[in-house]
Structure 1
C-alpha cells in the first residue's frame, strides 16, 4: 500500500520557511517594506507604524521587534543620503529598476552595519536571506552578499571623506535653509537632524518637582526634558494625567495668548491636543477643531486621561463658521512640518517644494477666515512647525498687508518664552530652530523648528 505523503513536512535546512523563522528576519523584512513605502510611495511613517491601522506585518510583530523596526527605519531615513553615497562607492553600476526590495534591503543592512550596534554578520546574513526570498530581488542575492561583505572589510576606506550633514538633506531643503539662515546655520540644522529628538513633557504644575521625580531637567517655559527614554505609559504621572508629551518648542505658541482663564479660546487644527491641553489646564474654555474625526477621538482620549474638559468639533475650517466669536484663536496651520525632522525623519523624503506651495495657499485662506472669528481686541496666534519662511515670516507679513486696518502685530518678547531671546526675531516673531538651545542657561540643545506670530483684532 502506498503511503500518503506527510501533509506538514518539517522544513529542510535552508528552506524559505526556515529562513523566515530565523530570529530577526521578520523585523528586517518589515523594515525594508516600510522604508520602500515611505521613500517610493510617499507614505507617512507614522501611518505605517500605527499598531491599529498601519502595515500589516508591523502590527503582528512582538513589542521588541516593533521597537527594532522603528530604530532601523528611523536610522535608514536619517542617514539615507549617506547610505546612498556608500552604495555608489560599492557598486560598479546603478542597480536596475524592477529589482524588488533590493535597494531597501541594502539600505536596511547598511544602516545596521554603520550606525547601529548590530554585528555585521547578522546584518549581512539576514539581508542575503531576504533577497533570496524576494522573487525579483533573488537574481541579486550574490550582489547583496558581496557588497555588504566588502563594506564590512573596508568600512573606513569606503566611508572616508563623506559629509553626512549635507548628504542626508535633500538639495531643495538645504538651499532653502542656506538662503534663509546662511550657510553655517543651515549646516547646524542639518546636523541636528542626525539625532533623535529628546522626550519633552508639559506638566500641569510644578515642573521642577516633576523634573526631579523623572530624572530630567526643565527647559523652555517649563517643559520637562527627560534624559532617559523608555515606555511613556510606564512613567510616574502618566496614569494620573499629570503631564503630556509635547516638544519644548511646540509648547511656546499657546503661551503667547497670555492669561486665558475664563476666556473662550479656539484651538484650530487641534489634534493631537498638546496645545489644547495647555489652554484647558490654564483655565480657558477651549473649542478644539480638527478636520479629522479619528484624530479628534485620540485628542478626546488624551483629554480624558488628563481630566480636562474641552469641546471638540470635526470640521473643515475652510467651511466652518462659529456660533459666536471667540476671545482668542490659536491657529496651528497645516504645514510642511520641516521643523520636525528630528522626530519625523520621513519628512525630507515624502515632501517636495510643490507641497510647500500648496500648503501656503491653505494657510493664507485659513488666516483670512479666522479674523472674523475673533472679538475686537482679541488675539490670534498663527504658528507652523516649518522652517520655510513662506510658511512663517512671509506668510505673517502678507497677512498684515492684506488685513491692514483689521489686525495689528503684537510683538513677542523674550520674557514670554522663558527668557530665550535667541528665539525672538527682529520683527517680533517667534522662530525656533532644531539647533537652538532650549534653555536660557547651560547646554540643552535641540527643539522642533517652529514659527509663531501674534496679532490683535482691531
Structure 2
C-alpha cells in the first residue's frame, strides 16, 4: 500500500489530521515555522487538498489556541500538560468542530486513531462533554498572554484588541502591479499600483501567467515606495521572496538582489521569469559579502522576529519570545551598520522589518543614528503611502493592526528612510 494511503482500519481523512498534529508539534514543541515544517509533516499525504487541509487545521488551531485550552481545562479534573498528546489531539478535534465547520462525529473520529490507550478514552470523553454543553469559541480570539502583555506595554489596549480581531480570520490578498495597464483581478486599490482582492487560488487569478502582478501585503510595499523611481544602482538586501526587488526593478532601478538562501533565491529567479523584470540575483551572506561599488539606493528588509505577519502566520505568536527578538535585533544591527557604508554620499538607505517589536524598529533606528552622524531621517510624505497609513511625527512609518482595519488590515511593519550626507 502506498505510504500516503489511510492506514488500515482508520476513518477516511485521518491522514491530514495526523499531519496537522505533526505541524503543531513542530511549532509548539520545537519552535519551527509552520511553513518550514509543512513539507516534512505532509510528505505522506495524497496531494494538494490534503496538504491544504492539514495546514488549515494547524493554522486555525494556532489562531484559537488559548481559547481551545480554556475549553479543554474546563472539562478535565486534572489539567493536561501543555505538551500532552491528548491536549494536542483535543485541540485539533475542537477547532474542526467549533471553527472549521466539521461535523462533530467526523472531527472526533478522525483524531482518535492518533492516540492510544487511556488518553483515547479521555479525549473522547472531554470532546463529548464539550459538545453536549454546546461549547463555543469567542468571536474575538484571545492572544497568547505573553504576546498581549508585551504589545499592550508598547502600543496600548486598542492595538491588542485590534490584533485579536485581525488574527480571527485570514487576511485579504494584496497584489502589486508591474504597471497600470496590466491584466489583474478586480478589487479595491489602496495605493497606486495596488489591488486588494478577497483571495482564491493565486495561479488561477486573472493575469497571473502574464506576470503583470505579484502577491505582496500593502505594508510590505512601503519600503520600495519610499525609494521611488530611479535609474541608478539599487541593492535589495535579504531580498527573498522578492516583492520589493520586483518593485524596484519595475521603477527603473538596476537592482542586485542579495539573499543567503539558495532556496529563496530560486523563488526570486522564478518571479523574475514570470514577470519579465530584469535584475541580478546574488546568493551571499551580507555579513561576508560586499558590493564592488556603493549604490545610489540600499533597501534592507532585515531578518526579524516577523511578529508583524501574525495574521498569515499565527505560529509567530508562539515562536517569537524575548530571546528570539533580542537575537534578531542584534543581527539587524550588524547588517544595518555594515550596509550603511554601501550607500553613495547623498544616497538613500531604507531600513525595514516586518516586526511589531520596538527593539527591531524604533530602538534600532535610534541606536544607528546615535552612531552615524552622516545619516538623517528623510521623512516619508503622506502622498507616498497607501491610504490610511501616515508617517509618525519623526518621519518614519510604523504600521499597526489598528490601521486599515475596516478595509481588511495590513501587516505590522517598521520602515525608515535615511539620507546619507554629501553628494
TM-score range, shorter chain: over 0.9
* Partner-residue secondary structure (3-state), 2:349: strand
Correspondent of 2:49 among 61, 64, 74 = 64
Deviations 1:271-293 (A, max 9, x none): 00000000011111000001112
Verify the 8 A CA contact 2:234 2:255 in the aligned structure 1.
yes
**Alignment partner, residue 400 of structure 1:** 369
Verify the 8 A CA contact 1:27 1:61 in the aligned structure 2.
no
Extract unaligned runs of 5+ from structure 1: 1-7, 9-15, 133-137
User: Which whole-Å CA distance do the structure 2 matches of 1:358 and 1:97 have between them?
Assistant: 26
**Alignment partner, residue 33 of structure 2:** 44
**Alignment partner, residue 412 of structure 1:** 380
User: Which whole-Å CA distance do the structure 2 matches of 1:31 and 1:364 have between them?
Assistant: 37
**Alignment partner, residue 13 of structure 1:** none
Q: 1:316 to 1:154 in 2, by over 3 A?
A: same
Shift of 1:163: 8.6
**Alignment partner, residue 256 of structure 1:** 226
Q: 1:178 to 1:17 in 2, by over 3 A?
A: closer
Deviations 1:24-82 (A, max 9, x none): 11111111111111111111111122xxxx22544532222122112111110100111
User: Which whole-Å CA distance do the structure 1 matches of 2:44 and 2:400 have between them?
Assistant: 34
TM-score by length of 2: 0.94
Deviating more after overlay: 251-260 vs 376-385: 251-260
**Alignment partner, residue 80 of structure 1:** 65
Shift of 1:326: 0.3
Shift of 1:182: 1.2
1:171 equivalenced with 2:153 (yes/no):
no
User: Which whole-Å CA distance do the structure 2 matches of 1:172 and 1:96 have between them?
Assistant: 18
**Alignment partner, residue 263 of structure 2:** 294
The number of residues matched between the two structures is 417
Aligned residue runs from structure 1 range 150-165, under 5 A? 150-156=129-135, 159=136, 164-165=140-141
**Alignment partner, residue 414 of structure 2:** 451
User: Which whole-Å CA distance do the structure 1 matches of 2:245 and 2:280 have between them?
Assistant: 10
Deviations 1:199-235 (A, max 9, x none): 111111227x75xx523211244321112x3211111
Aligned residue runs from structure 1 range 23-422, under 5 A? 23-49=12-38, 54-55=39-40, 57-58=42-43, 60-95=45-80, 101-132=85-116, 138-156=117-135, 159=136, 164-165=140-141, 167=142, 169-206=143-180, 210=183, 214-227=185-198, 229-260=199-230, 262-404=231-373, 406-420=374-388, 422=389
Correspondent of 1:428 among 373, 395, 399 = 395
Verify the 8 A CA contact 2:306 2:316 in the aligned structure 1.
yes
Verify the 8 A CA contact 2:73 2:80 in the aligned structure 1.
no
User: Which whole-Å CA distance do the structure 2 matches of 1:129 and 1:332 have between them?
Assistant: 44
* Partner-residue secondary structure (3-state), 2:227: coil
Verify the 8 A CA contact 2:72 2:87 in the aligned structure 1.
no
Deviating more after overlay: 190-199 vs 318-327: 190-199
User: Which whole-Å CA distance do the structure 2 matches of 1:63 and 1:163 have between them?
Assistant: 30
Shift of 1:248: 0.7
User: Which whole-Å CA distance do the structure 2 matches of 1:308 and 1:181 have between them?
Assistant: 39
User: Which whole-Å CA distance do the structure 2 matches of 1:296 and 1:131 have between them?
Assistant: 40
**Alignment partner, residue 4 of structure 1:** none
* Partner-residue secondary structure (3-state), 1:327: strand
Verify the 8 A CA contact 1:268 1:332 in the aligned structure 2.
yes
Larger radius of gyration: 1
Q: CA RMSD in A?
A: 2.0
Shift of 1:103: 2.1
Verify the 8 A CA contact 1:78 1:194 in the aligned structure 2.
yes
Verify the 8 A CA contact 1:172 1:353 in the aligned structure 2.
no
